[in-house]
Structure 1
Amino acid sequence: MKHIIWDWNGTLFHDIDAVVGATNEVFKPYGVAAFDNDGFRAAYTRPIWVAYERILGRTLREGEWEVLDQSFHDHYHRLMLSCALAEEAVDCLRTWAESGRTQSLLSMWAHERLVLKAAELGIAEYFARIDGLSDGGAPGGGKAEHMVAHIESLDVRPSEILVIGDSIDDAHAAQHVGAQPVLYAGGMTSHADLAASGFPVVDSLSKAFDFAG
């Protein structure tokens, strides 16, 4: 492989506690019992509104998704301040860079926030490109179309790209463009669900390099 496309939330950025905490705040007014990390992982899926429908046990009403999503991000942006990069993240980024190969960052988080956070954490220099969700983009949806645009901006063939993420949607996005997916079990999706998908699963970021060739 010549290039790695990293996911952000739940992969390079270990923010499961902030995500679960924000989700609990969102659903507290609905009388939903608070999730622990494993309980959240059991409910989590993408698109996110499907996960919210699982949690509520019903279809979302017109306009309800937008309200819930705004509430989630209001809480998340407060709680994420205590989160840090995943274990091995910096070592993996440095090791790959020192190998002379390239890497980029693709996230469904807001682009401006993503760029600022990567710079704040001192890792922006490792990426040939950073792409988050631009203004006007629909939050919580699938990643495939964004993966297409991201790869089109890179001078690398999809067959030479390794995509490392923590959700099955990351793997589907990689598969959609012909890249190799590897799923990291330290994020939002349970190890059991990742394994059941049939895609390669690793328990540490460094183990993902086993699939880099």
Structure 2
Amino acid sequence: MRHIVWDWNGTLFHDIDAVVGATNEVFAPYGLGSYDVDGFRAVYTRPIWTAYERMLGRALHDGEWERLDLGFHENYHRLMLECGLAADAASTLESWEREGGKQSLLSMWAHERLGPKVSEFGIDRHFTRIDGLRSASGGHKADSMVTHLAALGLDPAEVLVIGDSLDDAHAAQHVGARAVLYTGGMTSRRDLMAFGVPVVDTLANAIDYA
């Protein structure tokens, strides 16, 4: 493996506290009590509205998902300002570069926010390409992975995808790349391990599989 495609939120960017904090903010009016990180991971699933229904113990009402999603993002974008890179993110990016490997970044976060944030941390120089979400409609990461690798002219057999969610593993599987999943994000270790790819607790361990 000579090329790594990194995920951003929950992988290189350690934002789990902002995610949990923003979730607690939008659910405070429901009187559910606050989640800690482990409690949040226990109820988290995709699509996220299914997790919200788990939290509430009922189906969402008409318009409720849109209000919760808007509120979440407003709070997240405030709270994420307190978040930094994963503890070994910068050193791991440098280590892989020293070994002669190439790397890029693919995120489902808004592209116009992603680029400046990566530059703010001074790590943009490590990536041959940075792609975020360029449309409001979202979609599956698998489709974005196809476009990302095509733009780079990469053979998927030469690629390792490192991310914190099952979406990352699905995207790798979809294109024929390999994946390693990292426990720093929203998904529980149990759910990550159920997919059947390697699961690691540090980013430095993740590149051992490259």
Normalised by the length of structure 2, the TM-score is 0.95
Measured after TM superposition, the shift of residue 60 of structure 1 is 2.5
Measured after TM superposition, the shift of residue 31 of structure 1 is 2.1
2:7 corresponding residue in structure 1? 7
1:117 corresponding residue in structure 2? 117
Segments ≥4 residues shifted beyond 6 Å: none
2:147 corresponding residue in structure 1? 149
Within 5 Å, which residues of 2 pair with 1:52-201?
52-138=52-138, 142-201=140-199
1:24 corresponding residue in structure 2? 24
Measured after TM superposition, the shift of residue 115 of structure 1 is 0.5
The count of corresponding residues between Structure 1 and Structure 2 is 210
Distance (whole Å) between structure 2 residues aligned to residue 63 and residue 134 of structure 1: 24
The letter for the 1-side match of 2:168 is D
Per-residue CA deviations over 1:64-105 (Å, capped at 9, x if unaligned) read 222211111100111111111001100111111222221111
| Aligned mate of 1:202, from 200, 203, 209 | 200
Measured after TM superposition, the shift of residue 204 of structure 1 is 0.7
Distance (whole Å) between structure 1 residues aligned to residue 74 and residue 153 of structure 2: 37
Specify the SS of the correspondent of 1:153: helix
Measured after TM superposition, the shift of residue 61 of structure 1 is 3.0
The letter for the 2-side match of 1:159 is A
Contact persistence 1:186–1:203 (CA under 8 A): yes
Measured after TM superposition, the shift of residue 46 of structure 1 is 2.1
Contact persistence 1:163–1:182 (CA under 8 A): yes
Specify the SS of the correspondent of 2:112: helix
Cα root mean square deviation, aligned: 1.3
Q: Which moved more, 1:33-42 or 1:99-108?
A: 99-108
Contact persistence 1:47–1:142 (CA under 8 A): no
Q: What percentage of residue pairs aligned between the two structures are identical?
A: 65
The letter for the 1-side match of 2:132 is G
The letter for the 2-side match of 1:11 is T
2:47 corresponding residue in structure 1? 47
Per-residue CA deviations over 1:11-38 (Å, capped at 9, x if unaligned) read 0001111100000001111222210000
Distance (whole Å) between structure 1 residues aligned to residue 194 and residue 83 of structure 2: 29
Unaligned runs of 5+ in 2: none
Distance (whole Å) between structure 1 residues aligned to residue 65 and residue 129 of structure 2: 30
Contact persistence 1:168–1:197 (CA under 8 A): yes
Distance (whole Å) between structure 2 residues aligned to residue 153 and residue 57 of structure 1: 43
